[in-house]
């Protein structure tokens, strides 16, 4: 017998070395280990007798070893283990492994073995290259079934995890399950221990799907509980009632150098109506790229600032914070507001009339506390414990999905806990995102928010012309780039992030491309931007590009948001098939912001059907909401929102297409919270929810 809370370091067969490695993965107890779920499966369930009809298929075969041979190629430091076998019909089979010489000792002549892999043929032999294997006398773990594949780390392989997982599942008879029995029966879900057995070692595809549904429901249910708890606490609060001054708002919009779209007018009115209420606003402004959410935010801020209240704008990156600081200084140049920028690198203040001044953090904090600053823009630096506001009425969170989707409730909690200078009220909250969110995901992640949508482009915006570029067309695009640059325009070149395991790091990939293009375009100045640069370095690169000191900016995905260069007319995206449609649409939105016709070139070496289908969708549509729906169907919600940002597992993310499951989870969460808001009568749910909230914390 083994218990769920047994530390892994005390479990048999887990050496101190393995325990230390597992600890780095956040796995400290047996239960942690059991909940380390596979991210995919190798289907080795087709057990066959050798035959030509299975060539090219992934199969499992039982055979007896007849001969072994180890070849060494010293020049290449390579060993080749060759095992010759016969199946039950004496049909010959040859299995080959590279740099695994121990297999020769593990499988001596006469051993009966199960092998799984892709069946090929060479000469008189059927062949398997690097097949999974295990002795036929052992229970199926690595062959002959749906075999789980786990995220690995140096020293920990999927094969090792499978052996340990089987051992723990056999010895651990029960686990506390926070899903009540009545709910499991109602939804036809497995108990936790049954779900674990089927998720790690599924008997068949049908039972695997039920197990995946069980784990997906568990996470979505917890997310709904957390969201609803925050909502109930939120709605019980009160806020400053900001009376609408129509004359002020009309004057502001009339002086803008452009006319508001119908969508901007509607969204602004929805927000202004919310601000007139005593209960705090909790609204999401979901806008397409270039649809003008900054102006809507400015109208909302103006409403509060004109009534002697403070406004805070929270953004995920320093580059975006600086962009907003500059934008709001321009938008409010005719008003006597003190606007500040607070990040780890920047402490700036501007009263819209004087030059921008640098001040110390201590001076900044003193000015915020005494309300000598009206509008403060910044990163997480503005929600630290030492920041005390005097009269904070409105908090705006921009690009909130980049903080982490499941962490949105934590930001909302932080908003409630801000020292806003008012004992009996909390600020209104407006969250914004420029990533169009499909209906399913909006319900899943933002079900407790009121929603305003900006799906209309300004009248003066010209649609960006988008074209797929194959390798043989590359030089034609370079010729076109030269013409645009010579006409005074500028160019973005975007590179995908390249993992270290694929040889090049992000920095090396960007540096290599920068060097290559410098040789191709020797007449022009090229900037280089990547995530490893210091904030001041990034700003220097961006400022040079804004000031037209550089004509081409080579960058990784750090330009996805927050960079506005009206003079840039070309967005060139390398290996565009590696990005999702929504991210490609974000990149494309960096151009087309000025008076000139703009272009987006999608460079790709991929000829796969799915990749070309996605690229063609970009050619046909400039509508972010339409593209997000396509992205959801083709790549799933994990790719659209970002698994790492979401706080949810792969399984839960994949099930966000299941609108029915989400609605049920929300309804059941509401039923429980109606009578037990603090979950005093549901201690297991309360404990699970506390862990879920902790795991979704802000970095």
Note the pLDDT tens digit of each residue in 409-428.
445 555 666 666 666 788 89
Same domain for 83 and 132, yes or no, is: yes
- Report the number of distinct structural domains present in the chain: 4
Q: Quick one: pLDDT band at residue 500, thresholds 50, 70, 90? A: very low
Same domain for 264 and 410, yes or no, is: yes
Give the C-alpha separation, 217 to 177, whole Å: 13
Last residue of a domain, one of 405, 434, 454: 454
Same domain for 417 and 514, yes or no, is: no
Same domain for 365 and 248, yes or no, is: yes
Q: Look at residue 402 in the predicted model and tell me its pLDDT.
A: 57
Last residue of a domain, one of 589, 621, 653: 621
Same domain for 398 and 509, yes or no, is: no
The SS3 call for residue 494 is strand
Beta bridge partner(s), residue 40: 149
Supply the DSSP string of 35-52, one letter for each residue: T---SEEEE---EE---G
Same domain for 29 and 54, yes or no, is: no
Of 517, 457, 459, 530, which Cα lies nearest the Cα of 485?
A: 517
Q: Look at residue 102 in the predicted model and tell me its pLDDT.
A: 93
Same domain for 12 and 135, yes or no, is: no
105: pLDDT strictly greater than 90? yes
Percent of the chain at pLDDT above 70? 90
Residues 229-282 have pLDDT tens digits of: 878 888 888 899 999 999 999 999 999 999 999 999 999 999 999 999 999 999
> Has residue 653 been placed in a domain?
no
287: pLDDT strictly greater than 80? yes
Q: CATH number, domain at 114?
A: 2.40.50.140
Q: Quick one: pLDDT band at residue 210, thresholds 50, 70, 90? A: very high
644: pLDDT strictly greater than 50? no
Of 459, 500, 172, which Cα lies nearest the Cα of 508?
A: 500
Q: Quick one: pLDDT band at residue 228, thresholds 50, 70, 90? A: confident
Average pLDDT over residues 199-220: 94
Average pLDDT over residues 168-182: 88
Q: Which of 95-99, 223-227, 506-510 has the highest mean pLDDT?
A: 95-99
Residues 180-190 have pLDDT tens digits of: 999 999 999 99
Q: Quick one: pLDDT band at residue 640, thresholds 50, 70, 90? A: low
> Has residue 637 been placed in a domain?
no
Q: CATH number, domain at 344?
A: 3.40.50.300
Residues 6 or more apart whose Cβ sits within 8 Å of residue 428? 239, 240, 242, 274, 275, 280, 281, 304, 393, 394, 395
Q: Look at residue 480 in the predicted model and tell me its pLDDT.
A: 97
> Has residue 650 been placed in a domain?
no
Last residue of a domain, one of 454, 487, 519: 454
Of 144, 130, 151, 177, which Cα lies nearest the Cα of 36?
A: 151
How many CB atoms lie under 10 A from the CB of residue 163? Answer: 14
Residues 554-565 have pLDDT tens digits of: 998 776 555 678
Beta bridge partner(s), residue 341: 348, 377
Average pLDDT over residues 439-458: 78
In this structure, are residues 627 and 16 in contact, taking their beta carbons and an 8 Å threshold? no
List Cα–Cα distances, 599 to 477, 487, 561, 571, 613, in angstroms: 11, 15, 18, 6, 20
406: pLDDT strictly greater than 50? no
Residues 6 or more apart whose Cβ sits within 8 Å of residue 269? none
Q: Look at residue 416 in the predicted model and tell me its pLDDT.
A: 66
301-315, 609-623, 684-698: segment of lowest average pLDDT: 684-698
> Has residue 132 been placed in a domain?
yes
The whole-chain average pLDDT of the chain stands at 87
Same domain for 417 and 323, yes or no, is: yes
Higher pLDDT, 79 or 344: 79
Strands (E), 439-597: 450-454, 465-469, 490-494, 526-529, 552-555, 568-573
Of 501, 485, 502, which Cα lies nearest the Cα of 493?
A: 485
Same domain for 11 and 123, yes or no, is: no
Same domain for 359 and 422, yes or no, is: yes
Average pLDDT over residues 658-675: 89
Q: Look at residue 521 in the predicted model and tell me its pLDDT.
A: 96
Of 544, 567, 591, 550, which Cα lies nearest the Cα of 488?
A: 567
Same domain for 450 and 477, yes or no, is: no
Give the C-alpha separation, 557 to 615, whole Å: 18
> Has residue 547 been placed in a domain?
yes
In this structure, are residues 319 and 542 in contact, taking their beta carbons and an 8 Å threshold? yes
Same domain for 411 and 480, yes or no, is: no
> Has residue 320 been placed in a domain?
yes
Average pLDDT over residues 355-380: 90
699: pLDDT strictly greater than 50? no
> Has residue 210 been placed in a domain?
no
Of 546, 534, 537, 434, which Cα lies nearest the Cα of 492?
A: 546
State whether the Cα torsion 641-647-649-651 is positive or negative: negative
Q: How wide is the angle at C-alpha 98 spanned by C-alphas 94 and 99, nearest 5°?
A: 140
196: pLDDT strictly greater than 90? yes
Q: How wide is the angle at C-alpha 185 spanned by C-alphas 204 and 191, nearest 5°?
A: 55
Q: Look at residue 421 in the predicted model and tell me its pLDDT.
A: 66
Supply the DSSP string of 368-384, one letter for each residue: HHTT--SEEEESGGGGS
pTM of the model: 0.72
> Has residue 526 been placed in a domain?
yes
648: pLDDT strictly greater than 80? no
- Range of 343's domain? 242-454
Average pLDDT over residues 389-398: 90
Q: Look at residue 687 in the predicted model and tell me its pLDDT.
A: 93
Edge to edge, the sheet with strand 599-603 lists: 465-469, 599-603, 568-573, 490-494, 552-555, 526-529
Give the number of residues written for the chain.
Answer: 699
């Amino acid at each position: 017998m083994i218990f769920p809370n047994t530390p892994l370091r005390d479990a048999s067969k887990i050496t101190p070395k393995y325990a230390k490695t597992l600890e780095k993965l956040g796995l400290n107890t047996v239960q942690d280990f059991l909940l380390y779920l596979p991210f995919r499966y190798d289907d080795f369930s087709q057990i066959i007798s050798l035959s030509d009809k299975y060539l090219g298929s992934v199969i499992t075969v039982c055979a007896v070893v007849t001969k072994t041979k180890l070849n060494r190629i010293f020049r290449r430091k390579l060993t080749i283990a060759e095992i010759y076998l016969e199946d039950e019909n004496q049909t010959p089979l040859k299995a080959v492994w590279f740099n695994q010489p121990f297999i020769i000792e593990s499988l001596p002549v006469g051993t009966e073995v199960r092998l799984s892999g892709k069946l090929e043929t060479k000469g008189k032999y059927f062949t398997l290259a690097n097949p999974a294997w295990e002795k036929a006398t052992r229970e199926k773990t690595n062959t002959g079934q749906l075999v789980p594949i786990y995220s690995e780390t140096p020293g920990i392989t999927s094969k090792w995890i499978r052996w340990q997982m089987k051992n723990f599942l056999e010895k651990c008879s029960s686990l506390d399950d926070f899903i009540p029995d009545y709910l499991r029966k109602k939804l036809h879900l497995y108990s936790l221990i049954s779900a674990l057995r089927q998720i790690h070692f599924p008997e068949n595809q049908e039972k695997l799907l039920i197990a995946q549904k069980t784990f997906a429901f568990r996470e979505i249910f917890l997310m709904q509980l957390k969201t609803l708890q925050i909502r109930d606490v939120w709605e019980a609060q009160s806020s400053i009632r900001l009376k609408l001054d129509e004359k002020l708002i009309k004057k502001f919009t009339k002086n803008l150098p452009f006319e508001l779209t119908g969508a901007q007018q509607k969204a602004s009115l929805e927000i202004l109506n919310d601000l007139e209420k005593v209960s705090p606003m909790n609204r999401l402004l979901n806008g397409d790229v270039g649809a003008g959410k900054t102006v809507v935010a400015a109208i909302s801020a103006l409403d509060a600032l004109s009534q002697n209240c403070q406004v805070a704008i929270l953004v995920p990156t320093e580059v975006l914070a600086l962009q907003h600081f500059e934008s709001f200084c321009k938008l409010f140049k005719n008003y006597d507001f003190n606007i500040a920028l607070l990040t780890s690198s920047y402490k700036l203040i501007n009263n819209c009339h004087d030059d921008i001044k640098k001040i110390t953090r201590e001076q900044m904090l003193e000015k915020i506390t005494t309300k000598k600053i009206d509008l403060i823009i910044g990163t997480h630096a503005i929600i630290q414990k030492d920041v005390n506001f005097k009269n904070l009425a409105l908090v705006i969170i921009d690009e909130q999905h980049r903080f982490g989707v499941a962490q949105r409730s934590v930001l909302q909690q932080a908003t409630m806990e801000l020292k806003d200078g008012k004992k009996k009220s909390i600020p209104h909250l407006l969250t914004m995102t420029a990533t169009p969110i499909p209906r399913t995901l909006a319900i899943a992640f933002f079900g407790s928010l009121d929603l305003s949508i900006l799906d209309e482009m300004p009248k003066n915006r010209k649609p960006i012309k988008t074209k797929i570029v194959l390798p043989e067309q590359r030089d034609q695009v370079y010729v076109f780039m030269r013409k645009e640059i010579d006409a005074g325009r500028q160019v973005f070149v975007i590179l995908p992030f390249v993992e270290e395991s694929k040889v090049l790091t992000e920095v090396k990939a960007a540096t290599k491309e920068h060097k290559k293009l410098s040789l191709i375009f020797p007449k022009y100045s090229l900037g280089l931007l990547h995530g490893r640069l210091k904030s001041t370095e990034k700003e220097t690169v961006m400022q040079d590009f804004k000031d037209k000191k550089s004509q081409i900016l080579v960058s990784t995905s750090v330009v996805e948001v927050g960079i506005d260069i009206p003079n840039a007319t070309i967005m060139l995206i390398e290996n565009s098939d590696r990005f999702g449609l929504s991210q490609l649409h974000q990149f494309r939105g960096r151009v087309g912001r000025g008076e000139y016709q703009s272009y987006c070139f999608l460079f790709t070496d991929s000829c796969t059907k799915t990749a070309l289908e996605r690229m063609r969708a970009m050619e046909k549509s400039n509508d972010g909401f339409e593209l997000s729906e396509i992205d959801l169907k083709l790549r799933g919600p994990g790719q659209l929102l970002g698994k790492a940002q979401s706080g949810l597992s792969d399984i839960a993310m994949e099930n966000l297409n299941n609108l029915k499951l989400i609605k049920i989870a929300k309804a059941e969460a509401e039923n429980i919270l109606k009578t037990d808001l603090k979950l005093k009568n549901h201690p297991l749910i309360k404990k699970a929810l506390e862990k879920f909230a902790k795991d979704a914390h802000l970095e």
